[in-house]
Amino acid sequence: MKDPKIIFFGPVGAGKTTAIATITNNTCATTDARISDTGQRRKSRTTVAMDYALLESGGKRIHLYGTPGQERFRFMWEMISTELAHDCSGHIMLLDNTRNHPRKDLEFYLNNFTMYNPSTPLVIGVTGSDLATTPTRADYARWLAELEIKAPLFFIDARRTEDVQLLIDEILQPEIPENVAADDDSLWQTEEEMSLEELFAPDNHYALFTPGLIDEVESIDAVTGTALLNCQNHPEHSSLTYSELKALQAFTAGIPPVRQRIDNPGSVESFSLNTQGEGYYLIMLADNQTLGVHCNGQLSLLSLKQEIDNRLQWSDRLAIPTA
């Protein structure tokens, strides 16, 4: 099996060099120079060729490539994408929340990198959210929906090893095949084998845990982070630390999928989970979504649940229809 390759791309100052250096303990090779244009206001040096590092992780040798952010080095974008890492396992796009036009950055770098390998998996990491609270998670989710891009989105700190590892893990996670072989009888159910709930459960017309709702939940003072998991227990959004997210996934992996009830569509079931450190999780399940909310413990579980229930009620009229 060939070694995985991952390309980091995005604007100047988003943290590409920092992320690769962080995950490899500063053993990466980088080529940089002093900036002579408008990027000088953001950082004094920039990558002019590429960053490269070999990461040993989980028995794998992972090749990491960092591209220069400035358009005048476009020739390096093409060389890395079509020659050095043409068979890459995934793209990690880093965006800087403190830049003037993150939406324009998102569109520009997507257009310029997906043209080389359009079917390559993409993960997006947003840095600088501790310095600039907007755009919010809901803003990015809306932009991605408008661009018809489906990609996991994480707010990260490129200086934290666990945050960078989260992006890499998301690229390298096992994929679920889109098409199932017709002769694999074990993966099919007859109507006789299905329960009444499965046969007659209505389609999901609304995503209950919307990006707007998650932003509202994260605005609660005692909440330190959230994660939205899909029906495969993979994160779609997360502001948790790497270890917090893994603890949440380990717990929720043992919870069977929650089916929509015929008599109460859109119902929510909740669990609590104490952590080894400070605080606890409130885990809420609705249809094929799992929302994990980490609280620092300064708010009681009952009070936190009431706060979230209020926001769920307020957000009903704002629910966005989904296909």
Residues 163 and 275 in one domain: no
- Does 205 score more than 50 pLDDT? no
What average pLDDT is seen over the chain? 79
What CATH number is attached to the domain comprising 72?
Answer: 3.40.50.300
Residue 253: predicted pLDDT: 85
Tokens standing for residue 321: 């229809």
pLDDT of residue 170: 92
What is the CB-side half-sphere exposure of residue 313 using CA atoms within 13 A?
Answer: 6
Same domain for 61 and 164, yes or no, is yes
Torsion over CA: 282, 283, 285, 290 (sign)? positive
pLDDT at 119: 86
Q: Are 32 and 110 members of one domain?
A: yes
Nearest to 293 by CA among 316, 270, 276: 270
**Predicted pLDDT at 59:** 80
Total domains in the chain come to 2
Domain that holds residue 287: 211-318
Tens-place pLDDT, residues 229-264: 988 889 999 999 888 899 899 888 877 654 444 344
In this prediction, residue 204 has a pLDDT band, given cuts at 50, 70 and 90, of very low
> Mean per-residue pLDDT for 164-180?
73
25 and 89, same domain (yes or no):
yes
Long-range Cβ contacts of 306-313 (<8 Å, 24+ apart)? 307/217, 307/220, 308/217, 308/220, 308/282, 308/284, 311/213, 311/216, 311/217, 312/208, 312/213, 312/268
Least confident piece of the model among 69-78, 118-127, 143-152: 69-78
Residue 153 within any structural domain of the chain: yes
CATH code, domain carrying 268: 3.30.450.30
